[in-house]
Amino acid sequence: MEIFIGVDGGGTKTEATAINSAGEVLSRYTGGSTNPYIVTFNKAMEELRTVLDGLLAPLFDKSLLFTSICLGMSGVSSAEERRQVQSFLHSYFRQRQLSMHIYMRSEAEISLMAVLERQYGILAISGTGSNTYAITKSGDIHRVGGWGHLLGDEGSGYQIGLQTLKTVIKSHEGMLPPTIMSSLIVAAYPLQHITDLKSYIYQPAITKQDIASFARCCIEAAEAGDEAADRIIRQQAAELADTTSALIRQQAEFAESELVRIGSIFKHSPLFRETYAGILLSRYPRLRFPEGNRERTPAHGAALLACKLFTDGVSDLL
């Protein structure tokens, strides 16, 4: 039985999936960050080793043929960075007496493969951060966004969370009307009163993920009809739609493409998802928003891509 491995390496977690040639999942494993700009290259490779060890542990069997691996890793984009990862993996597999084709692809390609089972189309991501990619049928990759939480991340969980915090403070100060986001926050966090936010937020350990977590209160309040929360969700959806529009303008074929939406904000906020799609359809009426197979993770998509690239005889040389 041939085995194909996919890895989705992120700044927060890394997921790996092993499948057979029929696409059936045989093993999964989740570990920590493998983004070298967050944890250094050496620590990223140590974590990647841990993830692969965990994934492969239940699979070592003489009847299995480990064939190829495809990785989509945040923070690994230049040719030199990819060569370093490939070098590490060649050494890793040699130590385990395995010979595998190693493919490095973008997070856009593995995510599109997971949903559409192909590598071209448009991908919009709204999770803790945000980003947009578009890949032409000929394989050219375009990107708008991805500047991080200080310079960009429009339409992300971080920006929704930050605007939520600013809004409840302004509401407390009397600059804005009351909002149920205030009571939702006090109930969900270790706070006695909304004024405790200052000491909570300015703790050194608070990260952008912690700020993004406040988006949950905004989404819940918007669903309950809170005007302030509704305004935040719609504004951030519009911001991401503007980012996506800038991407679509780069190639004529993108205006008639399929656009895949992934990430926790798209998943948990129907208002965000529908507002975003409505704005884009008003500008590009031939866009399509397929649901595809949303049970498959990007790691599963990477494994499917490993199978496709190997079957098609694609070289793994960079």
Partnered with residue 104 across adjacent β-strands are 71
User: 57 with 188, same domain?
Assistant: no
Q: Please tell me which residue, 83 or 62, carries the higher pLDDT value.
A: 83
* Residues 75/47, Cβ–Cβ less than 8 Å: no
Q: What is the DSSP letter of 31?
A: E
Coil vs helix vs strand at 316: coil
Give the side-chain half-sphere CA count within 13 A for 132.
Answer: 24
Q: Is the dihedral of CA 130, 140, 294, 300 positive or negative?
A: negative
User: Is 257 part of any domain?
Assistant: yes
Task: Give the model confidence (pLDDT) of 302-313 as tens digits.
Answer: 999 999 999 988
User: 110 with 15, same domain?
Assistant: yes
Check which CATH number belongs to the domain holding 302 and give it: 3.30.420.40
Given pLDDT bands bounded at 50, 70 and 90, which one contains residue 318?
low
User: 85 with 144, same domain?
Assistant: no
User: 197 with 106, same domain?
Assistant: no
- Is the pLDDT at 270 greater than 80, yes or no? yes
User: 113 with 133, same domain?
Assistant: no
User: 110 with 131, same domain?
Assistant: no
pLDDT at 75: 82
User: 69 with 129, same domain?
Assistant: no
Range of the domain at 271: 125-283
Mean pLDDT of 28-46: 92
Partnered with residue 69 across adjacent β-strands are 5, 102
- Is the pLDDT at 205 greater than 80, yes or no? yes
* Residues 44/14, Cβ–Cβ less than 8 Å: no
User: Is 318 part of any domain?
Assistant: no
- Is the pLDDT at 281 greater than 70, yes or no? yes
User: 110 with 195, same domain?
Assistant: no
Task: Give the model confidence (pLDDT) of 143-178 as tens digits.
Answer: 999 888 889 899 999 999 999 999 999 999 999 999
User: 190 with 255, same domain?
Assistant: yes
| DSSP string computed for 156-167 | SHHHHHHHHHHH
> Which tokens is 304 given?
């499917």
* Cα–Cα dist 111/106, whole Å: 9
User: Is 101 part of any domain?
Assistant: yes
> Which tokens is 310 given?
């190997």
User: Is 10 part of any domain?
Assistant: yes
- Number of DSSP helices (H) and strands (E) in the chain, helices first: 14, 9
* Cα–Cα dist 48/196, whole Å: 39
- Is the pLDDT at 61 greater than 80, yes or no? no
User: Is 207 part of any domain?
Assistant: yes
Token match 């310079």: residue? 151
Task: Give the model confidence (pLDDT) of 2-22 as tens digits.
Answer: 999 999 998 778 999 999 999
User: Is 40 part of any domain?
Assistant: yes
* Residues 121/150, Cβ–Cβ less than 8 Å: no
Count of domains for the chain: 2
User: 272 with 151, same domain?
Assistant: yes
Coil vs helix vs strand at 47: helix
pLDDT at 83: 92
Highest mean pLDDT among 91-105, 119-133, 275-289 belongs to 275-289
- Is the pLDDT at 139 greater than 90, yes or no? no
Q: What is the DSSP letter of 101?
A: E
pLDDT at 263: 87
> Which tokens is 115 given?
């949903």
* Residues 269/301, Cβ–Cβ less than 8 Å: no
Q: Please tell me which residue, 255 or 316, carries the higher pLDDT value.
A: 255
pLDDT at 62: 64
pLDDT at 195: 94
User: 79 with 215, same domain?
Assistant: no
User: Taking all residues of the chain, what is their mean pLDDT, rounded to a whole number?
Assistant: 93
User: Is 316 part of any domain?
Assistant: no
User: Is 289 part of any domain?
Assistant: no
User: 69 with 192, same domain?
Assistant: no
Task: Give the model confidence (pLDDT) of 67-90 as tens digits.
Answer: 999 999 988 878 899 999 999 999
